[in-house]
A and B are shown apart, each in its own frame.
Chain A
């Protein structure tokens, strides 16, 4: 296909150049959020539960493109103004776990009801795409 398409159409990598060395938020398909500098050695994973968050140091991350949902550039001014509260990550992980269990419980009840009505319920919460 690339043989008959003009080269100037391939602009993805070009459009990402200006995000290099910037502080980014990367949302992955499994719902994980990675915060760090694009092409740098300073990346970590942050988990959010409602209005608190916790950071897990992750070192260098190499992410395959298909797992990317969104790349967002962090505005430092907006970042300073955000009202979220940081907690130790093990505490947030526990809260996240509890929230996930509560959601699964709710989902189970809903799926059972749908199943009783004859609906197919093969949707998996963890696989969003």
Chain B
């Protein structure tokens, strides 16, 4: 659940979501759920000429399973803290697996 919590801290930031069908959507992160489904507001699509159907869409819900990358603003992330939390979580899960 680490990345779910992590994405929750990024709500309100402007992010770029790249999908597996090569569609890239820039928008304000509105919400994330436990499947890492993403809701974006005020969206803009990169290479809009190739995706004409997105022209009249203002906000969207993206299914987590189709996301390839999420580009984040570097200023919004404490990478040391994230690395630390990731280590702690993996340690915790190995500890519970042994027990």
Contact = CB atoms under 8 A, between A and B. Distances in A.
A78 B56 CA distance: 5
B53 A70 contact: no
Contacts of B55: 78, 82, 84
Contacts of A10: 33-34
Interface stretch (A46-54, A94-102, A108-116): A46-54
Contact of A69 (B34, B43, B63): B63
A38 to B, nearest CB: 10
A125 to B, nearest CB: 11
A54 B25 CA distance: 24
A22 to B, nearest CB: 10
A17 B19 CA distance: 23
Interface string A39-81: 0000000101011010000000000011011111111001101
Q: Interface size class for chain B? A: 20 to 34
B34 A9 contact: yes
A33 B66 CA distance: 15
Contact of A70 (B1, B58, B60): B60
Contacts of B37: 12, 15
B55 to A, nearest CB: 5
A102 to B, nearest CB: 15
Interface in A1-50: 5, 9-12, 15-16, 19, 25, 27, 29, 31, 33, 46, 48, 50
A70 B66 contact: yes
Nearest to B41: A73
A129 interface: yes
8 contacts: A9-B34, A11-B31, A15-B33, A19-B61, A72-B60, A78-B55, A81-B56, A82-B56
Given A70-B60, A71-B60, A74-B57, 12 more contacts: A9-B4, A9-B34, A10-B34, A12-B34, A12-B37, A27-B53, A65-B63, A78-B58, A82-B56, A84-B55, A129-B20, A129-B66
Interface of B: 1, 4, 19-21, 23, 25, 31, 33-35, 37, 39, 43, 52-63, 65-66
